[in-house]
Chains A and B, each alone.
Chain A
Amino acid sequence: MKRNYVILLVFALIVITAAEMIGTQSLSFGAFSVSLLPLAFAILITMILGLPFVRKGFIKKIYSKVNVQFSSKYLIFIMLPLMARYGADVAPQLKEILNVGWVFIAQELGNLGTVLLGLPVALLIGLRREAIGATLGLGREGELAYISEKYTLESKEGQGVLSLYIIGTLFGTIFFSLIAPIMLDIGFRVEALAMASGVGSASMMTASSATLIERVPEMESTILGYAAASQLLTSFLGTFTMVFLAVPLQRFLYNKLTKTKKQPEVPADVRAAE
């Protein structure tokens, strides 16, 4: 038991060292350049080594049941110092942030973009009830709780939100460390992107804001302050935005879009049949 944890710790130290030694790597695609930070390499290395066909022999020992369980059970506690750091980033700028406080509140509505952009695409490629679960929000704990309460996780809606949850957990940080610099290259202001970083998942917010800092290092304190403030606001308002805005909007759009395709009441029929 003890030996297990020692192996885990040594492994973590090796991965951190490797990720830091790889350092920040920039890749250019035409007009866009993205940079992968050590944090992205850390999650890539640990995930690749954990792939079922790689996880053999000694690596299997590192990824023992106890160690994987320890990591997922205590991940939230390992993240706490990061959250404490965010408080220190917001504090010196609180006045400035409150000055544009309404902008922070207004941009919370941007989280409805999951429905506005995601739902039409989901319906277009043929998803129906899964689309309800998969586009209500980012598919983090809030949406998971809401969908499982309303439809259960075994339902089609539940499968949709669970799939999104898994995909987000695995690829969310990588995705946000790629999209942030692309948006910067498109011409968005770094302050606006910092605010947008507070999407509701701490690791996705960190990936986005860290990548922005890499690109605009002189704005570090503003980026961290804005991202953290927006993230805090999302934790407070997220549930309300979901229940009072995202759910009705989704229902409205769903009915509108499925009707025009001459597939009336498909979900109701399916539900009745079950």
Chain B
Amino acid sequence: MSVQLNKYFKYGLVILLSTALILFTQQIKLLKDPASTPVEWMTIMGLLTLWLFSMIGVLLSDLMKKTPIKILQEFPMLGWVAVTSLVLCMCFDFFVEAIGYVDFLAITTPILTFAGISVVDRLVDLRKTSWKVGIVAVFVFTGTYVGSALLSELGLFLANK
């Protein structure tokens, strides 16, 4: 049990670090452009809300791993956090309001910073991949994006939106 608690404590700290970095980024954005999203008391409430939803999602994801239903077991943790947030935001408008005080782009910069650090050891692996797959990758990425965009465009047209 104490190992379990220790694990969640660690997760909690990392998520707290993430929210603190968001606050930092939002402040830097403000220095660069005073017209961007201000840092207010509600921003802190918004960040705490994001932390809380993340933690609930983590717990939910672990709980679902114990259910016998395969699709629930395999549904990613990122998805559980989004679902938790969606449900709680439907129930309480306050959460939507508070989260609205957190600048969206300020959330993304710290994540991509750590994403960059996490992949550096894979740069060497790039040599193992063939340039042919590199070309194919461009068409694969374009394929899924353009495919979905064409169907969405058609669908929205048919729905008269």
Contact = CB atoms under 8 A, between A and B. Distances in A.
A110 B148 contact: yes
Contacts of B119: 47, 50, 72, 169-170
A102 B25 CA distance: 38
Contacts of A215: none
B83 A23 contact: no
A228 interface: yes
Q: Chain B at the A interface: mostly helix, strand, loop or mixed?
A: helix
A43 B28 CA distance: 17
Contact of B115 (A43, A77, A167, A236): A43
B137 A110 contact: no
A210 interface: yes
Interface size class, chain B: 35 or more
A38 B109 contact: yes
Given A83-B57, A85-B85, A117-B142, A16 B21 contact: yes
Counting chain A CB atoms within 10 Å of each CB, which of B81, B96, B99, B141 scores highest? B141
B112 interface: yes
B120 A63 contact: yes
A264 interface: no
B113 A83 contact: no
B11 interface: yes
A247 interface: no
Contact of B81 (A44, A84, A179): A84
A87 B85 contact: yes
A82 B136 contact: no
Contact of B83 (A87, A114, A169): A87
Interface string A35-69: 00111101111110011100100000001000110
Interface string B123-159: 1111011101111111111111111111111011011
Contacts of B88: 87
B108 A39 contact: yes
B79 A232 contact: yes
Contacts of B147: 109-114, 116-117, 196
A253 interface: no
A102 to B, nearest CB: 7
Interface string B1-28: 0000000000100110111011011001
A83 B85 contact: yes
Contacts of B113: 12, 15-16, 19, 42-43, 46
A158 interface: no
A125 to B, nearest CB: 5
Given A81-B107, A210-B104, A46 B156 contact: no
A84 B133 contact: no
Interface string B82-121: 1111111110000110011010110111111111111111
A33 interface: no
Interface string B22-45: 101100110011000000000000
A111 B147 CA distance: 6
B132 A127 contact: yes
A100 B109 contact: no
A13 B129 contact: no
The 10 closest A-B pairs by CB, nearest first: A87-B85, A113-B147, A46-B116, A50-B120, A110-B148, A103-B155, A110-B147, A113-B143, A117-B143, A91-B89
Interface of B: 11, 14-15, 17-19, 21-22, 24-25, 28-29, 32-33, 47, 49-51, 53-54, 57-58, 71, 74-79, 81-90, 95-96, 99-100, 102, 104-105, 107-126, 128-130, 132-153, 155-156, 158-159, 161
18 contacts: A80-B54, A84-B99, A86-B85, A87-B86, A87-B87, A100-B161, A102-B155, A111-B148, A113-B143, A116-B147, A117-B142, A125-B132, A141-B76, A167-B126, A176-B141, A192-B152, A199-B148, A210-B105
